[in-house]
Structure 1
Amino acid sequence: MSNADTFIHLFAGGVGGTVGAIVTCPLEVIKTRLQSSSSEIHYSAVRSLRTASSNAGCSANHMYFTPEMNWNVYYHHQQCSSVNSRLAVFPEAVLPWPASSAQPKGALSCFRHLIDQEGCRALFKGLGPNLIGVAPTRALYFCTYSTAKRKFNQIMTPDSHLVHMLSAGSAGFVSCTLTNPIWFVKTRLQLNRNQNVTAWQCISNIYRSQGVVGFYRGITASYFGISETIIKFVLYEYLKSTLQQMRETQTDSPLGNYQAMDYMLAGAISKTVACCVSYPHEVVRTRLREENSRYRGFFQTLHTVFREEGHRGLYRGLSTQLIRQIPNTAIMMTTYEATVYVLNSLVNEKRYTGSE
């Protein structure tokens, strides 16, 4: 692969990832909030406390629950008087809430809660690290994928499913290893309910409390998530070639040359299937990245979430993830393919002019 081709794939991957990240950032924030353990405790406790307070009458103390990671914080006040300044804080273990009674809010309710409690800016929390990370991540991914694909094609059956699997696995391993600290900071910012916390303050706090190793919490879940990229790219390559063959046989059709539609459709379908199959690793990764998290490893977190919250806990936020990922992947892959096409055309035209 020439230097020009390498640059084309680097640049196209960065552009595609950046455009997709900006458009779908609000859905990313909502998905992360739904995946966190604090939302499960929050919704269950609010319902329980409101039920208890409504049965107690006007003179009883009403308690409102506001989670901060692994702590239960209660604000007490009289229903018929001004707010009391007393604040009681208890460790989560002292006041356990049964997972069976928890009813997490949906994406729409979470969206309204974010707007009401934290303002519109909350929908774009973590966008800075996202933009900083998405370009190099996608650039590394697509560059590694195209390079590995070329190498594997030389020693295996060209464009076979095995070639696509190995190429996608290599690209996923390289990209998530090098960029995990960026996504760790992004997740922390999205979970933080303090609007005044900046990315630099978050980085300083993580380094002070956990050192450099702290930035790699959840990387084991990211490695397990490589299976998603493998499934996605194998399906994407298969669907893309199938759709192109179908359009070539329909030369008289007005849609015969609409390759962008092939890329969008193939990207959306492949990402949907891959996301549904491997989604639990996303929940595990978010739990591992929480501040003061009680989760320690991939399998321990997977087992704990399943034991306490059931299979639904492992798929919390899936609908939001699909709503986000389908347009994100379609936009990203279409932008990537279009950028590669335009840059290749410019390079080939320059080479042709130079040869003349």
Structure 2
Amino acid sequence: MAEISNMNIQKLTIVQQAIASCCGAIITSLFVTPFDVIKTRLQAQNNPFPKGKCFGYSSGHTDHVYVCENGDSKAWYKKPGHFKGTLDAFVKIIRIEGVKSLWSGLVPTLIMVVPTTAIYFTCYDQLSEALKTRPGKYDEHIPVIAGSLSRFGSVTVVSPLELIRTQMQCRRLSYKQLYQHISTKVAVDGWFSLWAGWTSTILRDVPFSGAASGSIAAVTTQPFDVVKTHRQTQLWNSETLKIPQRDGKSTWAVMRKIVARNGITGLFAGITPRLFKVAPACAIMISTYEYGKSFFSHLNEKKNQHP
């Protein structure tokens, strides 16, 4: 991510930095959630239902059980989600599930971005200032070091919320169903199962906190994003929910499995909607954050002038 300006940062309190960053995160989330939903659906559709398996489907009002025959024309129910691309997914989701489905998982997203953004941007600014006071001429490395450490901490804290968001974006679940889903998995595999996909999330997000541009980082880290979605959906589906997964596969093992099944292109599923969201998301987030810091800076100056 581009280096955040530290203009007047010494005049801001940690609370003011957190408020500025959270406002930017909320506005950004409202804009980019549809791209996240489409990206997750494109990645998750690489894992079709096995032939003859039963599965549940919630319409939002009632629950149904169907038999799936690989989603062919003889199926009782054709799984919504076989998309040819970003535009096709966008149109089909709206037509089949309604426009509100494009904001699936918005609530956990908003809950997640508040601590994520507050931790990241506040730690970034504080670490940058602390590193600048150290002796030595390493100023060019400060953004990378501060950004990487801040991202590492924020990803670790909110990883369970990331898992919940992925579940809600992948399939339509009521909050009761989601609670039962998670409770069952935690009872089988323990609390650490809530951090499924943590390694791939770290590998995906840390490059955005370094010197790489958003688009380059998005392409480079896309395979880790696919692995993250795979681990957070496949290891939590109805067939494995009650089966202990204590020796979960490594990131690289999952990656090899995806390549064997879907080819190298399988590692870049959902790259188009992710690229579409990177530039505007960064622009909205940084501009809102900088505006918030400027607002509080001027506010503090006025208070100092008129004690």
Alignment correspondent of 2:276:
323
1:281 and 2:227 are equivalent in the alignment: no
Kept after mapping to 2: 8 A contact 1:284/1:301: yes
Q: CA RMSD in A?
A: 3.4
- Return the alpha-carbon distance in structure 1 between the equivalents of residues 114 and 218 of structure 2: 21
Larger Rg: 1 or 2? 1
After superposition, give the CA deviation of every residue in 1:124-165 in whole Å (9 maximum; x if it has no partner): 111010011111110100011111111111225567331111
Kept after mapping to 1: 8 A contact 2:201/2:224: yes
Which residue among 107, 120, 127 is the counterpart of 1:148?
Answer: 127
1:347 and 2:300 are equivalent in the alignment: yes
Which residue among 25, 30, 45 is the counterpart of 1:22?
Answer: 30
Alignment correspondent of 1:261:
none
Alignment correspondent of 2:21:
13
Q: Counterpart of 2:68 in 1: which secondary structure?
A: strand
- Return the alpha-carbon distance in structure 1 between the equivalents of residues 97 and 139 of structure 2: 49
Aligned-pair CA distance for 1:178: 0.8
Kept after mapping to 1: 8 A contact 2:11/2:297: no
Q: Counterpart of 2:216 in 1: which secondary structure?
A: helix
Number of positions where the alignment pairs a residue of Structure 1 with one of Structure 2: 277
User: Relative to structure 1, is the Cα distance of residues 35 and 350 closer, same or farther in structure 2, using a 3 angstrom cutoff?
Assistant: same
Relative CO higher for 1 or 2, CA cutoff 8 Å, sep ≥ 6? 2
Kept after mapping to 2: 8 A contact 1:8/1:344: no
- Return the alpha-carbon distance in structure 1 between the equivalents of residues 158 and 164 of structure 2: 11
- Return the alpha-carbon distance in structure 1 between the equivalents of residues 16 and 171 of structure 2: 37
Residue type of the partner of 1:180? S
After superposition, give the CA deviation of every residue in 1:309-349 in whole Å (9 maximum; x if it has no partner): 23211111111001122211211111111111111110122
Alignment correspondent of 2:113:
134
Alignment correspondent of 2:100:
121
Runs of 5+ consecutive residues of structure 1 not aligned to the other structure: 46-62, 88-102, 236-269
- Return the alpha-carbon distance in structure 1 between the equivalents of residues 116 and 136 of structure 2: 28
User: Relative to structure 1, is the Cα distance of residues 122 and 76 closer, same or farther in structure 2, using a 3 angstrom cutoff?
Assistant: closer
Q: Counterpart of 1:74 in 2: which secondary structure?
A: coil
User: Relative to structure 1, is the Cα distance of residues 130 and 201 closer, same or farther in structure 2, using a 3 angstrom cutoff?
Assistant: farther
- Return the alpha-carbon distance in structure 2 between the equivalents of residues 162 and 84 of structure 1: 57
Runs of 5+ consecutive residues of structure 2 not aligned to the other structure: 1-8, 57-66
Which residue among 180, 188, 191 is the counterpart of 1:212?
Answer: 191
Alignment correspondent of 1:98:
none
Deviates more, 1:210-219 or 1:110-119: 110-119
Which residue among 184, 187, 205 is the counterpart of 2:163?
Answer: 184
Write out aligned runs for 1:168-317 (5 A): 168-194=147-173, 199-231=178-210, 234=211, 270-290=213-233, 291-292=236-237, 296-317=249-270
Aligned-pair CA distance for 1:34: 1.0
TM-score, normalising length: structure 2: 0.78
TM-score, normalising length: structure 1: 0.68
- Return the alpha-carbon distance in structure 2 between the equivalents of residues 212 and 316 of structure 1: 29
- Return the alpha-carbon distance in structure 1 between the equivalents of residues 220 and 175 of structure 2: 37
Alignment correspondent of 2:68:
73
User: Relative to structure 1, is the Cα distance of residues 40 and 320 closer, same or farther in structure 2, using a 3 angstrom cutoff?
Assistant: same
Residue type of the partner of 1:23? F
Kept after mapping to 2: 8 A contact 1:64/1:74: yes
